[in-house]
Amino acid sequence: MVYVCGWWTVAAWYKGFRTIEIHLKQHKGDDYDIKPVNVFDTVLILGYDVLFEIGAAYMIFYNLFMIH
């Protein structure tokens, strides 16, 4: 599932359907600055999404049905 979702995420990012925005809170006030995103940030954020938010969730539910 991680393999399939990884390819889907790369294709969606390449086509522009998935984007990354990083907001950094300013020291004073409630305003946020938008950090310019580079490829390294994109790989880390989307990689985390695929491995942990998708892959770990599937493994938990897959193992629930494998326990007898």
CA–CA gap between residue 18 and residue 46 (Å, rounded): 9
pLDDT at 67: 66
pLDDT in tens, the chain (68 residues): 889 999 999 999 999 999 999 999 888 888 899 999 999 999 999 999 999 888 888 888 777 777 65
Q: In whole angstroms, give the CA distance from residue 18 to residue 9.
A: 8
Cα–Cα distance, 5 to 19 (Å, whole number):
16
Residue 7 Cα distances to 1, 26, 50, 67, angstroms = 10, 35, 10, 30
How many other C-beta atoms are found inside a 10 Å radius of the C-beta of residue 50?
19
